Structure 1
Amino acid sequence: MIQALVIDDQEINCILVKGLLENFFPDRIRPYATSNLAEALELITTLQPELLFLDISMPEMDGFELLQHVRKQQKAEVIFVTAHDAFALDAFDHQAIGYITKPIVSEKFVRTVSRAIELIHQKTNTGLVETLKKAIITSGNNQDKRITLTSQKGLTFVDPAHILYCESSGNYTTFFLVNREQIVVSKQIGSFVSKLESHSIIRVHDRYLVNLQHVTSYIRGNGGLLVLINGKEVPVSVRRKNDLLHFFDE
């Protein structure tokens, strides 16, 4: 559960945003709210919230000043919720991940908060991955030869030799393994190219990476097709065809 804190000098706005969080994200966010600055500063220290909802125009300390104070203690993600749209550029200069104007439109609210949740989980998983990698290397076993894939289910450690191919779909990449398992990762396929090419897994198309150790044949064509051991036919782009054939010649 993500700890979230709503700070607004108008209590009715605190109640509204807290209620929206409880209604739309009951299993993902634990929200707290306050309209009192002193209490807000205390809650920031005790709760260490990962997500802040800040008003900008507040009498004792505006949202930007409060954010500067918060970031002396921690790095929380921030969504500004304000009646004015004139501060949007300033908000993003302060590295806010969302800017919602009042009256709040629920659809935009849900989209913005969902994006914040995904970002926070990615940061958390990245930290966990690095910790696990260090532990694996320190332990002296051979698990560090595997790659780590982060999906909604958690972390999966995969031997590159067990990867058949990877397929891109926008900002997501699906890994297809020899045991027929599929792992969907919320990263673009390009981020895996340099990591996998030393394992003979190369990019043959804008949408595909293929493990050449599992290729049974190449069908000639404009770009051609690679046939894998499971019968899957993967297209080869015209501009990558010569590089692929050169690899086979070697």
Structure 2
Amino acid sequence: MGGMIRALVVDDEPLAREGIRLHLAKESDITVVGEATDGRNAAALITTLKPDLVFLDVQMPGLDGFEVVEAVAPAFLPTIVFVTAYDQYAIKAFDVHALDYLLKPYSGDRFQSAMRKAREEIVARGSHDSRRRLLEMIAERAGASAHLKRFVVRSGEGYTLVPAADVAFFEAQGNYVRLTTGSRHHLLRITMAQLEKRLDPKRFARIHRSTMVNIDRIKEITPAWHGDFEVLLQDGQRLRLSRNFRERLLP
């Protein structure tokens, strides 16, 4: 594997971050590109810095480690090494899905073992197996499918988190999706097909091959031309409901 591995360290405990930094300083192919002390900042840094590897604490203020992974679009997900002090259930989940973890306190040998696995995963990441396993692990922990609860979007020179409940609708734009909240629009680096699989079907419905709507934002549905319908949102925006997708909203 050529080139340097870009690492991000995420933990709310200063001593824990320092410990990881000291171990990484011994690795000739690792450079630490940033640190975060809480989940929200971690999600933003993963998107902006695009690290290859993240050491991610499980329990943190704001978003926990699992919620950080949920908040980041799949295209931005790096290789993740979880760090935990006590979560035995999570440890078992990692083992089942072949994802590594560091149980505090960990030895130098245990850290080296995690690094070997991380290097192998980074090399194989093009197959998307690591991202798939992450989503499966999150689903097992939650006891349900891993529906996206929030999105990391660009805001000025930085990034912000948009709760899924605030989204009015999504529109496909090539290999991207435009997210609309009221008068604001944001581009997501994900296809409509990928997004649909990760949204809660009880909250979002496909109403056209290029449009998904937040069901809670619908005010009324009225007939239009040629068997199609018009969807009026609570903020006055109007969308087309194709007859091919009418069963999602109409009896």
- The TM-score bracket by the shorter chain reads 0.3 to 0.5
Of the two, which has the highest radius of gyration? 1
TM-score normalized with structure 1 length: 0.44
Considering Cα pairs closer than 8 Å and 6+ residues apart, tell me whether 1 or 2 has the greater RCO.
2
TM-score normalized with structure 2 length: 0.44
